[in-house]
Structure formats: C-alpha cells, structure tokens
Amino acid sequence: MSTVNVYKQRPDAAHAESPLFHAGLHELAGKGKSTAGVVLREKKLLGHLTLRGDGHDAAFAGAVHKITGLELPGALGLVVKGETSLQWLGPDEWLLIVPGGTEFAIEQKLREALVGQHYQAVNVSGGQTIVELSGPKVRELLMKSTSYDVHPRNFPVGKAVGTVFAKSQLVIRHTGEDTWELVVRRSFADYIWLWLQDASAEYGLAIEA
Amino acid sequence: MSQINRLSRGGRIDRSQPLSFSFNGQTYQGYAGDTLAAALLANGVDVVGRSFKYSRPRGIVAAGCEEPNAVLQIGSTEAATIPNVRATQQALYAGLTASSVNGWPSVNTDLMGILGKVGGGMMPPGFYYKTFMYPQNLWLTYEKYIRKAAGLGRAPKENDPDSYDYMNQHCDVLVVGGGAAGLAAALAAGRSGARVILADEQEEFGGHLLDSRETLDGKPASEWVAKVLAELAGMAEVTLLPRATVHGYHDHNFLTIHERRTDHLGETAPLGQVRQRLHRVRATRVVLATGAHERPLVYSNNDVPGNMLAGAVSTYVRRYGVAPGKRLVLSTTNDYAYRVALDWLEAGLQVVAIADARPNPKGAWVEEARAKGVRIMTGSAVIEARGSKRVSAACVARIDAKAHKVTSSGDWLDCDLVASSGGYSPVVHLASHLGGRPVWREDILAFVPGEGFQQRVCAGAVNGVFALGDVLTDGFEAGVKAATETGFKPVSGELPKVFGRHEEPSIALFQVPHDKSTARAPKQFVDQQNDVTAAGIELATREGFESVEHVKRYTALGFGTDQGKLGNINGLAIAARSMGISITQMGTTMFRPNYTPVSFGAVAGRNCGALFDPVRYTALHSWHLKNGAEFEDVGQWKRPWYFPKRGEDMHAAVGRECKAVRDSVGILDASTLGKIDIQGPDAREFLNRVYTNAWTKLDVGKARYGLMCKEDGMVFDDGVTACLADNHFVMTTTTGGAARVMQWLEIYQQTEWPELKVYFTSVTDHWATMTLSGPNSRKLLAEVTDIDLGKDAFPFMTWKEGLVGGVPARVFRISFTGELSYEVNVQADYAMGVLEKIVAAGKKYNLTPYGTETMHVLRAEKGFIIVGQETDGSVTPDDLNMGWCVGRTKPFSWIGWRGMNRQDCMRENRKQLVGLKPVNPDKVLPEGAQLVFDPKQPVPMSMVGHVTSSYFSTSMGYSFALALVKGGLKRMGERVFAPLADGTLIEAEIVSSVFLDPKGDRQNI
Amino acid sequence: MLNIFCPHCGEQRSEEEFHTAGQAHIPRPLDPSTCTDEEWGEYLFFRDNPRGLHHELWIHAAGCRQYFNVTRDTLSYEIFETYKIGEKPSVTAKAKSAPLTSRTAGAKA
C-alpha cells in the first residue's frame, strides 16, 4: 500500500454537482412528450475506477474477479452484475463502475489483492458521468453522432466502444435492446448535452430524473 | 396564365392539386408531382436564363440532373434563398419562388446579349486569361462586370433557419440509382438478408421505367416499380432513400449521399424536421446502377430554346403530361430515340420529320414509326436550328458522318422543337471519383467504368447494358454478387418478362457537320453551361492544348456544377478528331466529387452555432458566470479571463485583481491544467527520461517543476509533478498540452520503452483545482482546513492531504504568482461546495477571484514562462535561461538532451529570454513586436528578437515585457527598440526576466 | 475516409478515430549521446516518402489509445495489414513487387 497514495476522495456528506448538474435535469424530468423517441437520464455520482494491468496475467485477472465478482472482459466487452460493471477500454485498461461511495473501499480491496503486482488503479469518479439513452429512436440519434456502426448486428448488447461522438470522443455502451450508455468526460458534458438535445429534436426528447 | 403546353391527360402528376409558383416575378400554375422544369415548360416558359459567357437566351434541355441551363435561384426571402438548383430536380410546391441567375437586367432583354450576338469572336476560349489579365491594374474593374455577367447564383446573406445533419450509415450493399438495374439489385441483395441502402436522386424511384413505353409482364413498367418498392419497404434491413444523390465516392468504400428531405415541401422545412441530410456511408459493397445520360447532338444554334434531349421530351410527355412544343423534328443516331416520336404522336402532336444519321435504319422502333407514317430522312441530321428565343425551323441535310461533311443542300423544316439523340453516355462519374479511368467501348460508342480499387459492381446502363431485359438481369446478378461477397446466401428470383425489340447499332456523330467550317458555322454548343463550342475546342487544340485535361481547363468544358454530364464525350471526341487521333488515344478527363452541387448546410450539418466546436467547462463555471467573469478561449476550454466589477474595463479589473493577490489573497480556477496519474515501479525512471531535470531524488510528499522537450531539444511543455508515493506521481501539464503530453508519454512507453513498468491515466476532469494565492492565503485556508499549514509542517514545493471545506483534498504548496500559494484539488463533484466555503471565509481578506489575464501578469512579473507564449518550438531551456532545469549528468540520454547539444543549440548569440523595461513606463510594448538594436538603420532593419509577453504592472507601477533577444543575457542594461507599424518607436532597457522578488521571499514564507 | 483495422480492438474503424504518427520502424537510438550529428539528424529529420508501399505508425486515439503499425499503399490508399508494435510487417516492398496497376494507370496524364 505504501507504494501508491490512495485515500478517500468522496466526502460522506457534502453538496455534490455531477457533470450535468447545471442542466437542471430534475426540473426537466417528466416535462417532455410522453411519446418521446429518446429518453435521457444521467446516472450520476457513481464510482468510476480506471484499472490498468496485464489481462493475460492470471494473478491480475484473478484479483479483479475476486474483488468485483466479474471476469475481465476481452476486447470491446462489457460485463454487468447488479450495479457493478466492468468494461474493456484497451488491451491493458478497464473501466470499473461501482455504486457511488463504494469506490474507495473497492480500490483498497483491489490493492490488497494485487500487492506486489504492476498495475494501476485510479479513481476517476469526478471526471466522468454516464448519460443513459433509451427509447425507439436512440439508434438513429447515435447514427447522427458517431461514425461507429450501431446496428445490433455489429453492436450487440454487452459491447462497449470508445469512438468519436459529434466532434468529441466518448465511450458508448449497449446495455439493453433500446438502452445505451454514454460515458462522458465532465468537461465535455455540456457539449454532449447540447448535441443530444439538438440531434434528438425531431424524435422528441424526454428527461428522466 | 394557363398551362398552354399541358396535355389533357397522362403523366404522374396530381391534377387535383394545382400549385401556384413564381418565376422571375411572374405567377404560374403547375400540379403536384411536377418538377419546376415541367411546370415551366407546361406554362410555355422558353427562356430560363442567359448563358454564362455569351449571354445567349437558354431554355430547358433535359429532365434530370444533367440539365445545363435551368440552374436557378430558389427562395422568396434572403434567409431561404438557395443558388444552383436545377429546375429539373426541384419538385414543385405551393408558393415556390424561383429566378434566373444570369441575365442582367432581365432574361428577356439582356444588355449583355449584345456580346453573344455581335459575335463569339469577342469571347474565345481562354478569353479571361488573354484579355483581362493585362494590364493587371484594370482587372479589378473588369472583374466587377464579369462577376455580374457570369456566376451561377449567389450565396444568401442571412442565416439559414433550417437544420441540417449527418447520418452515419453502414451497410453490406449500397445500391446507387433506383432505376431498373438498381431496383433489381436492391431486390436481390435485400432478399438475401443483407443490410441494403438504395439511394436515388429523383423524387420517385423507378428512373427511366417511369416514362418508358416498354412493358414488364405485359403491364406498364411503373407497376413493377411499385411492386418492388413495396417489397423493399417491407424488409427491415433495407433503407430506401429517395431524393438522395450519391455525390461522392471516397476511399475504402466511403460514400456521401446528399438527401433533400423537405426541399419538395417548401422553401423552409416543416417545424422540427431536418431539411437536408448528409449520409456518410461505409458500404462493404457498392452496386453502381447510375444509368446513362443521353448525349445531345452538336449542331449550329443547338442552344436556342426548343432544342432538347430526345429522351427528355419523352419524360415530359409521359411523366408530367407536358408537351414542350407542337411540331417536333427529331435528329438521331440510334433506334431508341424513335420512341420520342411515338410518344409525341400519341400525345396528338405533329412529328415533322425524323432525321436519322444512319443511311439505312431498320430496327423495330424505326419500323414502328415508319408504319405510323412518320417522315424519316435517312443519312441526315439537323445541321442548324433557327430562332432567337425559340426554335422556329430546323435545317436537315444529308451528311457523311465519317468524313464529317454535309453532302446535300439543307431542307428548312418549320418546327418549334428539335429533339436530338447522339447515343447514351453511361454515368461513370462515381466510378471514377477515386481515379478508376473509364474505358472506351467502340461497340456502344461510350465510356464505361474502368477497373477500380473499390469493392464495387456496376450494373445496367452504366455498364453499357441498355436493353431493358438485360438491364434487369444485370442488376439482379449484381445484387446477388454483392450480397454473397458480403457473406449472404444467394437468392434466385423471377424477373419480369420484357417484350424484346431488335435494335440496330447507332452511329458515331459527336459533331454534326455544317456546310461552313466549324469556325465559320453558327455556334455549335458542346457544353451549354460553360458556353463551350465546337469551334472553341478546335481552337484550343490548334493553340497547342493537346491533353484532354488541358483542353478542359482552357475551354472550361465540363467545369463547375456541370461536371461534364452532357458535353464531355462530344467535347473530347471533337478534340480527338481535330488532332487526328482516336478517342481512346485522347482519353477522358477525370470526374471529381461532387457529382451534383451540395449545399453548405448539408456539409456543415449540426456543427454550427453553439455546436461549431466543443466547448469545455470546469466544475466551477456557473460560479464564474454568477460572478460576472469575462471568458477567454484556451484550446476548447472557457476560462475566466477577468472578473470586471461594475464600470471596470479589463485594464482596471486586472489591476485590481493583481493588487488583491499581491496585497491579500486571490483565487483562480486552475482546473483546466492537464493532470496525469502515473503509477508503476519505473514511474520515476520514466520521468527522468521525459523531463529535462532529475527526478531520482524527489521524496514522497514533494513536488517539482519540470520542463519537457522534444527530441530536438526544444521546450514543448512544462508543469509541476508531485511524488505521491514511491511508485506514484501526479503530473500536471499546460492546459493546451494535456492531450498532447498524454500521447507523448504513451508513444514512448508503447513504442520505445515497453520494458518500463509504468501506467498513465488522465485525471484532468476528475480533479477541480482552486489556487489560493497571496500573503493571506495561509490564514484564509487555515479557516477551512484541518491541514497544518505551518511553514515547517507544510513547506514550499510539498503537498498534503486533508479536509478543505469538509471535503477530502490534496493541497499542493506551489506558486505561479510568486506569492504564498496553495492549490486545492478536490473531486470535481464537490468543488462548488468547497469554493463557496472558501469564498465565505475569504470575505474578511478581500478574497478576489482572478482570471487568466491577472495570472499572466503575475507570473510574468516573476519571469515564469508560459509554453506557447515564451516558446514557439525553437527555444531550448538554455534559451529561456532555465539551464538550472536541465539534468546534465543524468545517466540516461533523456528526450531532448542530444538535440539541445547540437552545435546550433550551443551557439552564442541565440535568442534568449530577457526582461524589457520600456523607457517610458506607461508605454506597453505590443506582444509580437519585432526588436532592433539600431532604430536608425535603413529598412529592412535587421531584427534581433521579439516581445513574447507584455503588460502594465500595477504592483510595480510600470510597464514591462518578456522578450527573446539575440544574445540578450549578455546585454543587460543595453537598449532595444520596437519600431511599430504606425511609425512610432518604443525604447526599452534589457533587464533580468525576473522583475519581482528575485529571491523568492514572498512565496517561500 | 480510410477504414482501418485496429489490431487491439479487432475490428475496422473509421479514419476519424485515428491519428497518424508518421513512418513506422524508426527506433530511437539506444544512446543518442553517442550519435554523430549525421546519425542523429537522420533519426530526427529524415523520413521516406515512397510512391507505393509504406509502413506507418498510427494511434487509435478515440478508441483503445494504442499505437500500432499500418502497411499502406500511398497511391491506392489500400491497407494491406495492420500489426502491433513489436511485430514485423508481412507485406513488404520486396515481397509485394507487383505494382497496383489500376491506380497507376489512372494517374493524371
């Protein structure tokens, strides 16, 4: 534990502003058309940890599995169990998302299980948020936004890709037939929010709190 | 005005829906289902514009995108106006407002027309080059008139109210063209289960089948079209895109489609709808079923309104119920054009004669016409038309096509319409966008697509397959081939039966001979849009332009929005004949994207206005807004620039902010700095290699400033890196350099030193950073933190963890202002709450928010550099007088060390960073000003450096600057001069770049 | 718009997800300090600009952030292979001497 600095960064109780706080989504909730083609919800203030290590090393993969209950996914994979998900970001990089407030304890457990190994665990919870999009027109909305092929033949549920989105970059996760998640960097969140409103205008956009 | 040319029945128009529209200020009526061109012809409008160079009156020639003349400006308001719309492609809607783009002052009485009448001699090809370029100073005068006379439309001056967007498409098979071949191909591919996109540029799918005389399974061809469309529409993986032109074929089967979604509904889109959409398609296979364009014949005065393409006449009659005249003369080289005469007869109109260039035509269509008593003049052609604003007669003479000679005296026939057909040119444009050169086929007298790199199949007329039954088979087979090549099972299917007609070969006739020489005969237009004549092409070859590409550029053949659709083949054949070579030897020009014009709206998509470029915000942005910040763009970030109070200008605000920091305490949002978390046993070694200075001995708990160079030894980024634990560091980078540095670290780790065990993760967005700076910052911070801030407990260049405002924070005691400073980092979600607590506690210290401008002044007073301002990629650490930051004894040859030891980097007299103190303390040197030692030397003066940063310092009471000056470090006390553009001169003394507190007493307390 | 197979993501992605990083297989000298000016200049500044087969370094910037190599024809833009850092190309100018005739023939007269 002494080789890296790890400490609890989230206060037990304090005023928190997620990356889309300024958009006032809770006030917009329920005001859109009931027939909206796209429903947007921010899954905010979750625990996000970046894990880097050698996925082929059984010790690394085993420790991650032991602590998270999830197998390290291979290329473009996303595994979900309850409120915990583990996503492949690159050949030596994964994104672990856990319920907000549990990330410190999980990081500690991971570090205990990984003692002596070369890896990286970084809390990035404040730096990104998840925008969940659902509804019958989400696929078309995504087609307007990314050059990646979002057809279910190419992008089935359980796949996650880092790609371009409008003029920025983000991660798209397919979590249910008509449900998708965008992992959005905090500083780009307003741009993505503006883009999604503009691009979904013709389908109708509703907000869920 | 009544629709004098509207037939009483027939056509695919809806006569129950009359629509009013206006053209050049006149109101007319047409029907739903008309194109603007059809409606204009129905109303007997002959002249739709004036030609570009000679200003001759021009009428509608074609019925599709190949139309050269009816290129109009559409829209009733400035915001809605759109240039370059072909009337043949614009669906009619109620209230459509159109006008000609050429014709000054009006198309019917054109002052410019005099040019055209007095004689073409005034404007030969190369005219602009020859006439207007000399004398050069007159060009500006000429240009005004040329611009007025020429040009095809004008750009709107107001914002377009409509929205446009992109749609990224992926498919197994993209079928381009919805005619017989394309429909059959889409059907085959669709039935196999492949993802198929069928795009067609017209209002309706069906292409030629919509106006064909031929039957499928004994029924009108349009019924088969409807059946196929119904089947395709029912397939989940088939996307039908009507009104969608595939306008570009790009690398790796990436194609762009311009879809006009609401242009047929009105001049602005219905609320909430996207007007035009650019489809960006990645297709595994492409079926090009782009069809063919009929080739017009080139004869004298073939541009007078009333000269049309033969097939277009059929289209207007059969599809729109419009007869663009009463008395038809048809001039043809082939059998198929005879159908026009049959259609004309069926409409109850008079066929004056058919001139067939072949000596003895006997095909099925010919016999059918002959049986109906039509006068057929064999071995003949229309050699000249007569009329000014409308054809009144045509001269038919016997010709010898091979010898290019007229062999009889002409016979003038009264008529008001000359339809011509010189054969069919496959639409090879898309096939050659990527460089695949078309190949000449003598048997069909046409270019067909050559070999290409793309994964494409050509089908139907574009392939040189013209007979309908063959076209359907070719299309279907292409669809099967494309689908199976993408992994789908082949399907078989019954294709409709076609009543086959025997057709005889056509004859080559690219320019109709005249009894006068080409140069003397009345103008024979090859390219009407660009006013290129046969004589012009001959002249070009005589003047030595022998390559087809040169002829094109010299004459403008196939230029602009036309892209050689009608004129290309005739033009190059004329050039070839003129030079005595074959068409194959001549070759063809290349076609480039775009096939037809694409609006700027569609090109821009949603990337305009607020979405032009991403704007990045920090977690504290709403606080800055509330507190009246003015913002500065730093990369994509919005950073507070300064916080003006009521009545303050920037100068006053910055002066106040600087004073507050120097006297008490200020707060800065520093969240935009790049932050990279670095972990691994080799992290320290890695830092040693990427930074210029040494990191071996940096203890846990401490922080250090570092410079990064590129291999050439030039500074490229800087920042403070802290040692969080033995194997754990956090690096900061410049705001603009964050992504660049991250990739820099990765490229060295991944490609050069994979053996080093170290990982990097960007945490820029995770941490919000608030910098408290000023003599009272310790006192203020103490009120909101549990960290021991004592001088010894928390010395300069160290960091601590603790609570700030009740939130876990990492606090760095580092300084960019020269004052006692603390950088408070908290998880960004909680930054706002922390800031509010600090601000509340800061009231009694006059805590002042400050922006980037004050930050710049304060750091410059201390001589701290900003990468990108003091550096420009040609500055070494030694140039910056920062040799103290270079680890000259580090064992590993780190990045930049070898580069900065090049002879040139070691040379005396390099530009070095110094301070400048203007002799007049109120004069602020402009940033970027060039410096000289001797202001009295003659111009051009020898420049010795430039000002990199310059401000007025409120705390010091005088202006000051940083500058790079040749040998500056050895010139302390000497004078330099900045001669400014306005003729004035600022004199300054060279001083140390550290103006304030050189010993660091203020920050180190 | 190239379509590039990322050897790490295992699928084709559009060019806009990538950045090019110049010619591949130019290792940093093990000890730059011992390089002559000429050797160092060669490493730092000189690159091939072939008409035809070329090995390039690219990064999947919007995806997995990995660098990898691309063997590409600079005339046709055809990509013959992509391969990971540390691997050798299997398509080389020597192995692939047959010219890409159609684009060559299509070059401007």
Instruction: Please report the domains of chain C, with CATH numbers, ordered by start residue.
Output: 3-106 (3.30.2270.10)
Q: Do C64 and A162 touch (CB under 8 A)?
A: yes
Burial of B2 (C-beta count, 10 Å sphere; 0-12/13-18/19+): exposed
* DSSP for C65-79, written as a single string: --EEEEEEETTT--E
B884's CB contacts (< 8 A; 6+ apart) are none
Distance of alpha carbon B659 from alpha carbon B954, whole angstroms:
7
**What b-and-e string marks burial along A80-98, b requiring 16 or more CB atoms within 10 Å of the CB?**
eeeebbbbbbbbbbbbbbb
Task: Give one DSSP letter per residue of A116-180, joined into a string.
Answer: TS--EEEE-GGGEEEEEEESTTHHHHHHHH-SS--STTTS-TTBEEEEEETTEEEEEEEEETTEE
Residues whose CB falls within 8 Å of the CB of residue B120, separated by 6 or more in sequence, listed in order? B54, B523, B533, B535
pLDDT at C93: 78
Domain ranges of chain A: 23-208
| Chain C contact for B902 (CB, 8 A cutoff) | yes
Nearest to B606 among A92, A125, A198 (CB): A198
DSSP states of A191-209 as a string?
HHHHHHHHHHTTT-EEEE-
B911-918 vs B985-991, strand pairing mode: antiparallel
From chain B residues 380-399, the ones with a CB under 8 A of any chain C CB are none
Annotate B921-988 with DSSP letters as a single string: TTPPPPTT-EEBS-TTSPSSPPP-EEEEEEEEETTTTEEEEEEEEETGGG-TT-EEEEE-TTS-EEEE
Using the Cβ of B280 and the Cβ atoms of chain A, whether some distance falls under 8 Å is answered with yes
Q: What dotted CATH number matches B296-422?
A: 3.50.50.60
Alpha helices for B31-93 (secondary structure H): 36-42
pLDDT at site C105: 31
List all chains that touch chain C, counting a touch as 3 or more CB pairs closer than 8 Å.
A, B
User: How do strand B821-827 and strand B715-725 relate by DSSP bridges?
Assistant: unpaired
CA pair distance A194, A191, nearest whole angstrom: 5
- Residue-range domain boundaries for chain B: 1-157, 163-292+426-485, 296-422, 517-597, 674-762, 908-1005
Look at chain C and count its residues: 109
Mean pLDDT (chain A) is 96
How many A×B Cβ pairs under 8 Å? 169
According to DSSP, the residues that pair with B444 across neighbouring strands are none
CA dihedral over C43, C45, C49, C53, signed as positive or negative:
positive
- Chain A, 159-178: which have a CB under 8 Å from a chain C CB? 161-164, 169
Superfamily of domain B908-1005: Aminomethyltransferase beta-barrel domains (2.40.30.110)
Q: What count of other Cβ atoms lies within 10 Å of the Cβ of residue C17?
A: 24
Please indicate whether, in this complex, the C-beta atoms of A167 and B165 are within 8 angstroms of each other. Answer: no
Cross-chain Cβ contact A127/B763 below 8 Å? yes
| CATH level 3 topology of B163-292+426-485 | FAD/NAD(P)-binding domain (3.50.50)
Strand partners, B257: B246, B279
Q: Does B715 touch chain A (CB under 8 A)?
A: no
Tokens of B636: 């994509």
Asked if residue B239 lies in contact with residue B224, where contact means CB atoms within 8 angstroms, the answer is no
Confidence of residue C99 (pLDDT cuts 50, 70, 90): very low
Identity of the residue in A75, A76, A90 whose CB atom sits nearest the CB atom of C65: A90
For an interface test with C, the pick among A78, A164, A169, A183 (most C C-beta atoms closer than 10 Å) comes out as A164
The pLDDT of residue B115 is 46
User: Quick one: which of B29, B27, B24, B30 has its CA closest to B11?
Assistant: B30
- Residue to substitute from C1, C2, C11, C60, interface A, most A β-carbons within 10 A: C11
**How many Cβ atoms are within 10 Å of B218's Cβ, its own excluded?**
10
Superfamily of domain B517-597: BFD-like [2Fe-2S]-binding domain (1.10.10.1100)
Which pLDDT does position B546 carry in this prediction? 84
Compute the nearest-CA separation of C42 from chain B (Å): 12
| Distance, CA of B92 to CA of B40 (rounded, Å) | 10
Residues from chain C contacting residue B712 (CB–CB below 8 Å): 44
Whose tokens are 């029924």? That residue is B219
With contact defined as 3+ CB pairs under 8 Å, the chains touching A are B, C
Interface confidence, given as ipTM, is 0.98
Distances (CA, A) of B993 to B684, B860, B863, B880, B1003: 31, 8, 5, 9, 17
CATH T-level topology, domain B1-157: Ubiquitin-like (UB roll) (3.10.20)
Q: Which residues of B touch A19 (CB under 8 A)?
A: 619, 828
Q: What is the pLDDT of residue B451?
A: 85
Q: Which of C10, C14, C63 lies at the smallest CB-CB distance from A162?
A: C63
Please tell me the distance in Å from C9's CA to the nearest CA on chain A.
Answer: 6
Contact C27 B752 (CB under 8 A): yes
* B693 upstream amide cis, omega within 30 of 0: no
H or E element in which residue C22 lies: strand C19-23
Asked if C17 has any chain A CB less than 8 Å from its own CB, the reply is yes
Q: E strands, B312-364, where?
A: 327-332, 350-356
What tens digit of pLDDT does each residue of A136-164 get?
999 999 999 999 999 999 999 999 999 99
Q: Does A93 touch chain C (CB under 8 A)?
A: yes
* pLDDT at res. B137: 54
In whole angstroms, give the CA distance from residue B496 to residue A25: 57
Q: How far is CA B478 from CA B219, B446, B467, B509, C102, in A?
A: 25, 21, 16, 32, 22
Is the pLDDT at A43 greater than 80? The verdict is yes
What's the confidence (pLDDT) of residue B119?
43
B792, exposed or middle or buried, with CB in 10 Å at 0-12, 13-18, 19+?
A: exposed
The DSSP result for A96-114, as a single string, is EEE-TT-HHHHHHHHHHHT
Give the chain A residue nearest C66 (alpha carbons): A90
pLDDT at A188 over 50: yes
- Interface residue C65 vs chain A (CB under 8 A): yes
Q: Are B14 and B33 in contact (CB under 8 A)?
A: yes
- By Cβ distance, the residue of C102, C108, C109 closest to B452 is C102
User: What is the pLDDT, as a whole number, of residue B62?
Assistant: 97
Q: How far apart are CA B75 and CA B81, in angstroms?
A: 4
- What are the residue ranges of helices labelled H in C7-107? 37-45, 101-106
Q: Residue B247 gets which letter from DSSP?
A: E
- Between CA B972 and CA B992 the distance in angstroms is 7
Beta-carbon contacts of residue B434 (< 8 Å; ≥ 6 apart): B249, B250, B251, B452, B453, B454
Residue B446: closest CA among B289, B249, B295: B295
Contacts of A104 in chain B (CB under 8 A): none
Q: Would you call C64 an interface residue with chain A, using a CB distance cutoff of 8 Å?
A: yes
CB A173 within 8 A of CB A183: yes
Q: How far apart are CA B928 and CA B943, in angstroms?
A: 12
Q: Does C67 contact A at CB distance below 8 Å?
A: no
Residue whose entry in the numeric block shows the structure tokens 């039957």: B215
By Cβ distance, the residue of A75, A89, A163 closest to C17 is: A163
For residue C9, give the nearest of A75, A147, A164 by CB distance.
Answer: A75
Contact B435 C103 (CB under 8 A): yes
**Residues in chain B within 8 Å Cβ distance of C32:** 711, 893, 897-898
Secondary structure class of B329 (helix, strand, coil)? strand
The chain A residue lying nearest B621, using CA atoms, is A22
CB contact residues (below 8 A), chain C span 41-60, against chain B = 43-44, 57, 59
Mutation pick from C3, C4, C5, C14 vs chain A, by most beta carbons of A within 10 Å, is C14
In the CATH scheme, what is the code of domain A23-208? Answer: 3.30.1360.120
**Superfamily name and number for B674-762:** Aminomethyltransferase beta-barrel domains (3.30.70.1400)
Please judge whether A190 and B801 are an interchain contact, meaning their C-beta atoms are less than 8 angstroms apart: no
SS (H, E, C) B406-450: ECCCCEEEECCEEEEECCEEECCHHHHCCCCCCEEECCCCEEECC
- Among B432, B434, B898, most C C-beta atoms within 10 A, so best to mutate, is B898
Asked if the C-beta of B618 comes within 8 angstroms of chain A's C-beta atoms, the answer is: yes
H helices within B268-332, ranges in order?
A: 310-320
- Asked if C40's CB is within 8 angstroms of B254's CB, the reply is no
Cα-Cα-Cα-Cα dihedral sign, residues B332, B336, B342, B344: negative
Main-chain dihedrals φ then ψ at residue B824, nearest 5 degrees = -95, 120
* d(CA B486, nearest CA chain C) in Å: 15
Which amino acid belongs to residue B537? I
C5 contacts chain A (CB < 8 A): no
Taking contacts as CB-CB distances below 8 angstroms, the residues of chain A near B768 are 126
Residue that is written with structure tokens 């003038």 in the block = B412
A148 vs chain B: nearest CA distance in angstroms?
8
| B residues 248..287 contacting C (CB < 8 A) | 250-254, 280, 282
Beta strand ranges found along A9-127 (DSSP E)? 38-43, 47-52, 78-81, 84-90, 93-98, 120-123
B251 touching chain A per CB within 8 A:
no
Q: Would strands B238-241 and B424-426 be described as parallel, antiparallel, or unpaired? A: unpaired
Contact C109 B902 (CB under 8 A): no
pLDDT, one tens digit per residue, over C32-54 is 999 999 999 999 999 999 999 99
Give the H/E segment covering residue B885.
Answer: none
Q: Are B297 and B509 in contact (CB under 8 A)?
A: yes
Residue B130: φ, ψ to 5°:
-80, -40
Nearest alpha-carbon partner for B195 in B170, B177, B178, B168: B170
Look at B251 and C28 and tell me if their CB atoms are within 8 Å.
no
Per-10-residue mean pLDDT of chain B, 1005 residues long, equals 90 97 97 98 95 89 95 94 93 96 60 46 54 51 51 82 96 98 98 98 97 94 97 98 97 97 96 95 98 97 98 98 98 97 97 98 96 97 96 98 96 98 96 90 94 89 96 97 96 88 94 96 94 94 89 86 87 94 88 91 95 97 98 97 97 97 98 98 97 96 98 97 97 96 97 98 98 98 98 97 98 97 98 98 98 98 97 97 96 96 93 98 97 95 97 95 98 97 96 95 89
Characterize B583-596 residue by residue with b for buried, 16 or more Cβ atoms within 10 angstroms of its Cβ, and e for exposed. Answer: beebbbbbbebbbb
State which H helix or E strand residue B797 sits in.
none
